[in-house]
Amino acid sequence: MLRTGHIVVLCALALLTLGVVMVNSAEMAVSPMTPEAAALNAGVTQEGVTFQSIATSTAAKHMLMALAALTVAALFPVGLLRRAVGRVGQMFSPLVLLSVGVIVLVGLLATVYWSPIARPVNGSNRWVTVGPIQSIQPSELGKWFLIWLIAAYAVWVGRERLAKFWVGFVPAVVAIGIVSAFVVLEDLGTGVLMATAASLVLLAAGGRVLHFALIVPLGLVGIGAAIIQNPYRIQRVSSFLDPYADPQNSGFHMIQSMATVAGGGVTGRGLGNGLQKFGYLPEDQTDFLFAIISEELGLAGAMLTLTLYAVLVWAILAIVRRQDDPLLRLGALGIMATIVIQASINLIVVTGLGPTKGIALPLLSAGGTGWILTAACLGLVVAIDRCSRPVQSAIDEIADDQSDDLQTPVLA
Amino acid sequence: MSDPQPQRRAGVVGVLCAAGFMVVLGAVTTRIIILQTHPPTELAQFVDDRTSSWEVEPIRGDLRDRRGRVVSTSRFEYRLVIDPVTFPSEPDRAIVQLAEVTGLPMAELGSRIITTLGENDIRRRMLDEWNAPDRSADEPPKTKLGRFLQQVGLTPPPRDDTGQELTAWASEAGSPPPMIRYLPFKPLVDLETANAVRLLRIAGVSFDRVAVRDYPGDATAAGLIGKVGFGHVGLLGAEITFDTELHGEPGLVRYVRDDGGRPLWVGSGDWKNPVRGDDIRLSIDLELQRIALDELRRGITDAGAAGGRLIMLDPASGEVLAMVDEIVTDVEAEPFPFIKLGEENANGPAPEVDPDHENWPRYQVVRQDPKRAIHPALGRNRCVEDIYEPGSTFKPFVWARAHAAGLLGDTEKIQIADARNYRTPYGRRLADVTRRAELSWDEVLLFSSNIGMSQVAERLEEKDLRNLVHNLGFGSPTGLGLPGEATGLVTNARDWTEYTQTSVSIGYEIGVTPIQMVRAFSAFARSGDLAGTMPQVRLTAQSADDPIGNLVERVYDPETALRVRATIEGVAKRMDANRERTVENPVEANYRLFGKSGTSKIAVSPPPGYGLPKYGRGYFEKQYNSSFIAGAPFDEPRLVVLVIIDDPAPELVRIGHAYGSWVAGPVVRRVMERSLRYLGVDPDMPQSDLASGG
């Protein structure tokens, strides 16, 4: 029988496959023609893109690793995790555990400054090198870890205490704030993503809306400060408002991205036939891969991609809603929220609806760490699905939701 | 309100989250549709700007002579081009290899490459300085928000230029000069050499394909064929006249390029083949051209002249068969002392000529043409560009008009009481070379009597003569198509006096080009009903599609034309008789010629900005244009030849041997003989004449 988890796997598989193909297409290099007679190899791809070349590409290897991670995670006995978290919660104070979690996280994130393994790129400390693996983004790992930390914290403190501002809410917010602020130093987008996703988990766990209403403006001020503190972020915002003021510099990326989306037209230029990847669109294999998809596959390709995300998100949502255990439910919700927010920011940026911000499109943008970790998290969602209630009860619940009868008891 | 159930809380947040995502997806979808179907106008230029195109030069058509001999054709050669930026930075070995294979002088090759490498080093340093990373931050913000934030102090103001200073040069220029990437070398090399160089695989070495025009006909017809200039475009002569047809249609390659402008590929349908230019079959015949050149040069040498011109025309079709213009550069002649206007009383005595016009040196009458020395095609083509006064060769036109009007009775004789001191009714003094007391009208033409012609002119109305001149095409271009054609000078109706009437009848006060002369004379040389009409002159060979008659306008009725032909055959006979008497081993005359000689004074025409010197008059003294125009054979004329000998030597003038029938007539005879034989025309001279001529 097709379970919801299977849908998640299928969506992940489809997105990763699309990712591998499109990353290879975007990587394509063509040897320039020369006006001389020796132009026999003009217009021939330097390293021909064939099925074999795609199958042996780095992206394909990453995909295999991601699928392996997904499989392993899907087989992970989440019951153990639940019990372990519960047991630890009984042994230590939630605040102690939260503090330890934050310290571990910050320590993890701080590795980007630790010179033996740090690997700065373009003056930005986001990557580390561990052994043969060239570039790992600790913030990618921290992103998921924070969600589970907040979810665990919510389980440890319990709903009643979480609803209390000082003893329940504030420590969590402080933890989120510290970790996110640490990420924001190097990567505003990921920091905001982490903070938002973790906040949603907190809200879902029972944090009061009123408290959020107090905290959110603070967060916005923080984001504003982070923008103003950095001239190039101001430039990005101002060039978003008028990209054509300086099309060769500050507006370049945004204009090229929109031109890429527009260039394909409704039918697209055809797979592999995109033009913008030849040096016009920066970051075409990573953050702006969706623009290449729109250019080469047209509206249909873009719609397919968006549909896959929509199905994936709704499938995870169904799993969330069927799950009784608070930790697993919050964890799955956090995973969903992360994917939603990350995809939203990316899509908004790529289509020029928001200021340029480098953030990967989950499961599509080239990036081994991102693919493997996202796939692993989706594997966890599958594992969570496996230990949830039968489907029928979830359907009942959805039906119940749609009625106004809030008094209907929920089956345990 | 109490908190909802835990699952429900998570569910609500999840649903809200997913719903928000749907809103985002909806917005993104809408945005994509808008971008893909109706992109903003500002964006459009960035969407379309991914292809470039280059023109593929078509191969220029050939110019051929009327028999298909190639006189001008194109081929490709290769220009060595070096990109100093990618050229090996240790250039010595590469330079030696290049010099060895291409045969280009190593010293030049090496010094230019090394100098440019050095220059590029300097420029690279300037560019590095200019592109230093701290420069961009100093630029004022370009957007409104950026400026606003700067004004309210949220972003730091631009730093003072206390840091690294730009060189004064770069500051002034705005930016440093770009690197030199294109260093071409001469001379061009052939494909074989280019391929050999390519095999060396030296970085930064490439070849431009360059079209080269070859002229297999040498300089024989250079002035007529002309020359191509920069970009392989017609510059002179027939090359420019037929440039549109010769040029062909350029091909177009539209290609996709990457951000560096490098071409990536050519899409389907983005290649248009160039269309080779049409070949043009010119009317000239290289062999006739060679004959004409030979004989004209001989004529010029024999006459010790300063130059000569020759045009050979097919009177039936109007095709120009040969056209030669020679200038003798080493003739011993003084430059005429023109006065530079505005400097009449400047230092020293004003230039002057002999007041009595007796002690008259040989002046330069043919304007020197220094460009000819560079390339024969660069010179002026005096057959179409320069005018002269035709003198007696013009008489048949006027005579024919009067004859056609019945003004010249067949039996009428005119009496010239005092041929030495004749005065026209309005008192103008005229003289004849051959002085006779009594002349028939035919003899007026035969002996080229100025006095007789003045009487002919008196019988014609001024308007009649003026119309004749215009009908003969004088004063307007022939439409031959060669660049710079002169229209000629014809006195207008208001200034036309009885003096003009007389002058024109003897070929003065009218400026004509040689090409106008041969066209007009063709009226006497066309056969049958076409006699009396003028052909449209043309530079292309007649093809089956062209109208055969090639009629422009009837000037005379056929009978008149034939009558003139018959009358002036006598002139040719007199010329031949004279020739046979004075020339050693004269050419045997096999064809009946009809023609007219002319010996006209050369007008003094000051160049722009100059005036006549003291005592200077309108004409050079004792310096002449001696010309002869004739057609042959008599019944079905195939050729009309005009020969002008510019300024025969003073020694000939002194002994009276510089007349047209003395210096130009023999050239016409020789050209006719050789040309008609080449054309396979049967001789038409009666056997008795042949015997006597031999």
pLDDT in tens, B163-200: 445 555 555 666 677 888 899 988 889 989 998 988 88
| DSSP for residue B13 | H
CB pairs < 8 Å spanning A and B: 204
The interface residues of chain B toward chain A in range 473-532, judged by CB-CB distance below 8 A, are none
| Number of other CB atoms surrounding residue B587 within 10 Å | 18
Q: Nearest by CB to B154, from A228, A280, A329: name it.
A: A228
Using CA coordinates, name the residue in chain A closest to B137: A231
Q: Sign of the CA dihedral B392, B396, B401, B407? A: positive
Find chain A residues with C-beta within 8 A of B271's C-beta: none
Q: How far is CA B453 from the centre of its chain?
A: 38
Q: Which domain holds residue A323?
A: 4-26+54-387
Is A392 within a domain?
no
Nearest to B674 by CA among B383, B384, B322, B393: B322
> B617, B630 in Cβ contact below 8 A?
no
CB contact under 8 A, B264 and A30: yes
- Outline where A28-137 has alpha helix (H): 51-55, 58-75, 78-91, 94-110
* β strands within B370-525, DSSP E: 413-415, 422-423, 429-430, 438-440, 489-490, 510-511
Collapsing DSSP states into helix, strand and coil, what is residue B553?
strand
CB contact under 8 A, A351 and B32: yes
Find chain B residues with C-beta within 8 A of A269's C-beta: none
**Separate counts of helices (H) and strands (E) for chain B:** 25, 25
Is A42 within a domain?
no
Find chain A residues with C-beta within 8 A of B32's C-beta: 261, 294, 299, 302, 351
pLDDT of residue A167: 86
Nearest to A359 by CA among A183, A118, A131, A217: A183
Collapsing DSSP states into helix, strand and coil, what is residue B380?
coil
How far is the CA of A233 from the CAs of A69, A344, B158, B410, B497, in angstroms?
35, 19, 17, 110, 92
* Domains of chain B with bracketed CATH: 47-69+216-282 (3.90.1310.10), 78-208 (no CATH), 284-384+569-694 (3.30.450.330), 389-512 (3.40.710.10)
CB contact under 8 A, A317 and B42: no
Mean pLDDT of successive 10-residue stretches along chain A, which has 412 residues: 89 95 87 52 58 89 94 92 91 92 92 84 79 80 93 90 88 91 86 92 89 88 84 82 82 89 88 86 90 94 96 94 90 95 94 88 90 94 82 56 47 40
pLDDT of residue B19: 95
CB contact under 8 A, B31 and A259: no
Backbone dihedral angles phi then psi of residue B659, each to the nearest 5 degrees: -70, 160
CB contact under 8 A, B10 and A321: yes
How far is the CA of B96 from the CAs of B100, B101, B184, in angstroms?
6, 9, 17
Q: Residue B228: in which H helix or E strand, if any?
A: strand B227-228
CB contact under 8 A, B146 and A320: no
Q: Nearest by CB to B39, from A42, A244, A262: name it.
A: A262
Backbone dihedral angles phi then psi of residue B337, each to the nearest 5 degrees: -80, 70
| ipTM score of complex | 0.91
Alpha-carbon span A171 to A168, nearest angstrom: 6
| The three-state (H, E, C) secondary structure of B504-551, written as one string | HHCCCCEEECHHHHHHHHHHHHCCHHHCCEEECCECECCCCCCCCCCE
Give the closest-approach CA distance of B275 to chain A in angstroms: 19
Q: B23 and chain A: CB distance < 8 Å anywhere?
A: no
Alpha-carbon span B355 to A89, nearest angstrom: 135
Give the closest-approach CA distance of A76 to chain B in angstroms: 23
Query: Which pair of tokens denotes residue B555?
Result: 């000037």
pLDDT in tens, B433-451: 888 888 899 999 999 999 9
How far is the CA of A156 from the CAs of A86, A90, A99, A145, A383, in angstroms?
7, 8, 13, 16, 22
DSSP per residue, A69-91: HHHHHHHS-HHHHHHHHHHHHHH
Which residues have CB under 8 Å from A203's CB, separation 6+?
A: A209, A212, B9, B13
Torsion of CA B135, B136, B141, B142, to 10 degrees: 120
CB contact under 8 A, A42 and B266: yes
Find chain B residues with C-beta within 8 A of A203's C-beta: 9, 13
Find chain B residues with C-beta within 8 A of A159's C-beta: 3, 6
Which residues have CB under 8 Å from A97's CB, separation 6+?
A: A88, A89, A152, A153, A156
Find chain B residues with C-beta within 8 A of A244's C-beta: 42
Find chain B residues with C-beta within 8 A of A320's C-beta: 10-11, 14
Nearest to A89 by CA among A261, A326, A265: A326
The interface residues of chain B toward chain A in range 161-220, judged by CB-CB distance below 8 A, are 198, 206-207
Q: Residue B597: in which H helix or E strand, if any?
A: strand B594-603
pLDDT of residue A97: 92
CB contact under 8 A, B36 and A261: yes
Q: B275 and chain A: CB distance < 8 Å anywhere?
A: no
- Length of chain A in residues, anyone? 412
CB contact under 8 A, B255 and A33: yes
Q: Nearest by CB to B29, from A206, A250, A306: name it.
A: A306
Alpha-carbon span B18 to B24, nearest angstrom: 10
Is A264 within a domain?
yes
Alpha-carbon span A205 to A195, nearest angstrom: 15
The interface residues of chain B toward chain A in range 239-268, judged by CB-CB distance below 8 A, are 255-260, 262-266
What is the phi-psi region of residue B561: left when phi exceeds 0, alpha when psi lies from -120 to 50, beta otherwise?
alpha
Q: B43 and chain A: CB distance < 8 Å anywhere?
A: yes
Alpha-carbon span B533 to A194, nearest angstrom: 100
> Mutate which of A228, A342, A351 to test chain B, going by most B C-beta atoms within 10 A?
A351
Strand bridging mode B594-603 / B551-554: unpaired
* Residue type at position B21: F
CB contact under 8 A, B156 and A231: yes
CB contact under 8 A, B14 and A245: no
Number of domains in chain A: 1
Q: Nearest by CB to A278, from B20, B29, B259: name it.
A: B259
CB contact under 8 A, A262 and B28: no
Q: Which residues pair with A343 in a beta bridge?
A: none
Considering the entire predicted model, what is its pTM?
Answer: 0.67
Is A402 within a domain?
no
CB contact under 8 A, A340 and B47: no
CB contact under 8 A, A33 and B263: yes
Alpha-carbon span A2 to B573, nearest angstrom: 120
Q: Nearest by CB to B43, from A32, A246, A259: name it.
A: A259
pLDDT of residue A227: 82
pLDDT of residue B416: 83
Is A271 within a domain?
yes
Is A40 within a domain?
no
Find chain B residues with C-beta within 8 A of A202's C-beta: none
> A292, A260 in Cβ contact below 8 A?
yes
Mean pLDDT of successive 10-residue stretches along chain B, which has 694 residues: 60 93 96 91 79 84 90 89 88 89 88 90 82 55 59 52 50 72 89 89 87 80 82 84 89 83 79 90 91 93 92 92 90 83 64 72 84 82 91 93 88 82 87 85 90 91 92 90 89 91 92 94 89 88 70 82 92 90 85 93 85 80 92 92 94 89 93 94 78 44
> Mutate which of A227, A257, A261, A398 to test chain B, going by most B C-beta atoms within 10 A?
A261
Q: Nearest by CB to A306, from B25, B156, B259: name it.
A: B25
Alpha-carbon span A354 to A339, nearest angstrom: 18
* Residue type at position A210: L
* Residue type at position B684: D
Using CA coordinates, name the residue in chain A closest to B264: A32
Q: Residue B78: in which H helix or E strand, if any?
A: strand B70-82
pLDDT of residue B148: 61
Is A70 within a domain?
yes
Is A31 within a domain?
no
Alpha-carbon span B645 to B306, nearest angstrom: 8
Alpha-carbon span A136 to A330, nearest angstrom: 26
- Length of chain B in residues, anyone? 694
Alpha-carbon span B253 to B250, nearest angstrom: 10
